[in-house]
Amino acid sequence: MAVEKAQEIYDSDVDTGALSGFRVGVTAARKAEEQINLLERRGAHVVWAPALSVDPNRVDAGSLRAVTEQIIGHRVDMFLATTGIGTRAWFDAAEEWGLIDPLLETLGGAEILARGPKSVGALRRRGLRELWAPESEEFDDVLEHLRGRDLTGKRIVVQEHGQSLSMVAHALTRQGAEVINVVVYRVESASDPEPMFRLVETLADGELDAVTFTSAPAVAAFMQAAGSVGLRDEIVAAFQADVVAACVGPVTAAAFEMWGVPTMIPDRSRTAAMVKMLEAELPLRRSGLMIELAGGHQLLLHDDAVILDGAEVKLSPAPAAVLSALVAIPGNVVSRPALLAMLPSGTAGSEHAVEMAVARLRSALGTKAVQTVVKRGYRLAVAQ
C-alpha cells in the first residue's frame, strides 16, 4: 500500500468502524503499513511521520563479525538478550559467516536472561532457552535481577538494542564482571525530518486525538523534533490534556516519564493490542469517561467538567492536573516526579507541591479516592 508521509491517509470504504472521525498520528518506521491498515480498517484518519529511519537496523558487519569471533571459543557465563530483532539479526549474520553452530554452542552453556517475549522467541527459534525474563519486559528489571549478585570474574555478553548500553556495561563491571557489548545495529533518525515536523505542528494545533509509539528511540526523536521547532511545551500540554500517547509497551512508555507525559499501554506489547486499546479508549473519551471509584462512587469526566456522584466538583489547576494524570490509566501508579512535571507552571518545584495538590484533590473527591503507594507514587482508588 502506498502511503504519503504526514498527510491524511484515509479510505472512505472503511469509514464505518469504531475510530471513524478520529485522527491518529503514527510514528513507526518498521511495520508502519501494518499499523496503518489496522487503524484505517476501524475508520481512523491516519497521519504518518516515521520518527526513525525506515531502515534503522543497519548492521556494521565487520565489527559484528569481529566481536562474534571474540566470543566464540571462550567461556561465556551470562548472555543478556535485549531485543528480538537484534538477537535474530546477530544469529542470521553468524549463519551467513558459517559461525552459527559454534556461537550457539558457546552461548548455550551460559545463563541466559531475556528482556521480553520477542527476545525469548528469537532465542528459542535457535534452540536456546532463557533462564529468566521479567514480566515487565523492562531491561531495568533485568539489571535489578542481577543487582547484589557477586559477578566477580563472570564473563557477560550483552546484546545492545539500538542505543548504547555503555552505562549498563559500567554498572556490571563495578560488580566485578567482564562485559562484552554486541552492537548489532544502531537506530538512526529519519533521513527526512519534514514529515515529523508537520506531525508535531498538527498535534500542537489540536488536530490529533492520539499518537502511537512503538519504541523508546521514536519517543526521543519525536520530542527532539518538537523541541527543534519550539513546540515541546505545546506537545506536552496536548498529551497532558486529552491527546492519547499510545505506547506499545512499558519500555516505550518509560521514555515519556522525563516529560511528565501520561501514556497508555496495552495488556500485551503488540501493535494489534495497541490499536484495539485505542478502539476502546477514544470513543469513550469523546462521550465522557466514567470511572467507578472504590466505595461505590462514580466519577464522570466530560470535557473540563468533573462530576462526582452527579454533582459537579470544582478543582483548581494543580489538583486538576493531578487528576488528569491519575485518570489516564485509572488504577495505575503515577510517580511523584511525573506528577510534579504535570503541575501548572508557577507551582512550587518540589514534591511538596505534589503532596499539597493530592491533598486538595482528596478534599474534593474524598480522602479515600486517591491512594498513596509507598515509595512509588499515587493512584486512583478504582472499584475492583
For 281-326, the pLDDT digits (tens) are 888 777 777 888 988 888 888 777 888 887 889 999 999 999 989 9
At 170, which CATH number?
Answer: 3.40.50.10090
Contacts of residue 350, defined as CB under 8 A and 6 or more positions apart, other chains included, come to: 340
Residues 197 and 277 reside in one and the same domain? yes
Q: Is 14 a domain residue?
A: no
Q: Residue 103's beta-bridge partner residues?
A: none
Share of residues in the chain with pLDDT > 90 (%) = 56
| Domain region containing 321 | 289-380
Q: Per mean pLDDT, which range of 55-64, 165-174, 240-249, 255-264 is the poorest? A: 55-64
For 193-218, the pLDDT digits (tens) are 999 999 999 999 999 999 999 998 89
Residue 140 pLDDT grade (very low, low, confident, very high; cuts 50, 70, 90)? confident
Q: Is 89 a domain residue?
A: yes
Residues 178 and 198 reside in one and the same domain? no
- Average pLDDT of span 331-339: 90
User: What are the Cα distances from residue 47, in Å, to 11, 179, 256, 265?
Assistant: 13, 42, 21, 20
Report pLDDT for 361.
96
Q: Is 302 a domain residue?
A: yes
For 219-274, the pLDDT digits (tens) are 999 999 999 999 999 999 899 878 999 999 988 998 898 888 888 899 888 999 99
* Dihedral sign computed on CA atoms, order 135, 159, 251, 57: negative
Q: Is 177 a domain residue?
A: yes
Average pLDDT of the chain is 88
3-class DSSP state of 277: helix
Residues 50 and 194 reside in one and the same domain? yes
Report pLDDT for 151.
96
How many separate domains does the chain show? 3
Residues 148 and 74 reside in one and the same domain? yes
Measure the CA–CA gap between 70 and 12, rounded to whole angstroms: 56
The three cell numbers of residue 335 are: 510517580
Strand (E) positions, the chain?
8-9, 23-26, 45-48, 78-81, 111-114, 155-159, 178-182, 210-213, 244-247, 263-264, 289-292, 298-302, 305-308, 311-312, 370-373, 377-380
User: What are the Cα distances from residue 362, in Å, to 341, 344, 355?
Assistant: 20, 18, 10
Per-residue pLDDT for 16 more than 50? no
Domain-terminating residue out of 252, 285, 318: 285
Domain-terminating residue out of 270, 285, 300: 285
Report pLDDT for 59.
67
At 301, which CATH number?
Answer: 1.10.10.10
The three cell numbers of residue 123 are: 532465542
Share of residues in the chain with pLDDT > 70 (%) = 91
- Average pLDDT of span 327-345: 87
Residue 55 pLDDT grade (very low, low, confident, very high; cuts 50, 70, 90)? low
Report pLDDT for 346.
61
Domain-terminating residue out of 225, 259, 285: 285
Report pLDDT for 195.
96
Measure the CA–CA gap between 198 and 181, rounded to whole angstroms: 37
Q: Is 2 a domain residue?
A: no
Q: Residue 82's beta-bridge partner residues?
A: none
Residues 65 and 160 reside in one and the same domain? yes
Residues 293 and 374 reside in one and the same domain? yes
Report pLDDT for 12.
36
Q: Is 254 a domain residue?
A: yes
Residue 17's nearest CA partner among 333, 282, 348 is 282
SS3 annotation, 107-166: HHCCEEEECCHHHHHHHHHCCCCCCECCCCCCHHHHHHHHCCCCCCCCEEEEECCECCCH
Residues 281 and 293 reside in one and the same domain? no
Cα Dmax for the chain: 72
Residues 317 and 371 reside in one and the same domain? yes
Measure the CA–CA gap between 58 and 53, rounded to whole angstroms: 10
Measure the CA–CA gap between 374 and 358, rounded to whole angstroms: 14
Residues 48 and 98 reside in one and the same domain? no
Q: What is the pTM of this model?
A: 0.63
Q: Residue 48's beta-bridge partner residues?
A: 5, 26
Amino acid letter, 78: M
Residue 164 pLDDT grade (very low, low, confident, very high; cuts 50, 70, 90)? low
Measure the CA–CA gap between 66 and 68, rounded to whole angstroms: 5
Q: Is 172 a domain residue?
A: yes
Report pLDDT for 9.
43
Per-residue pLDDT for 110 more than 90? yes
Residues 116 and 195 reside in one and the same domain? no
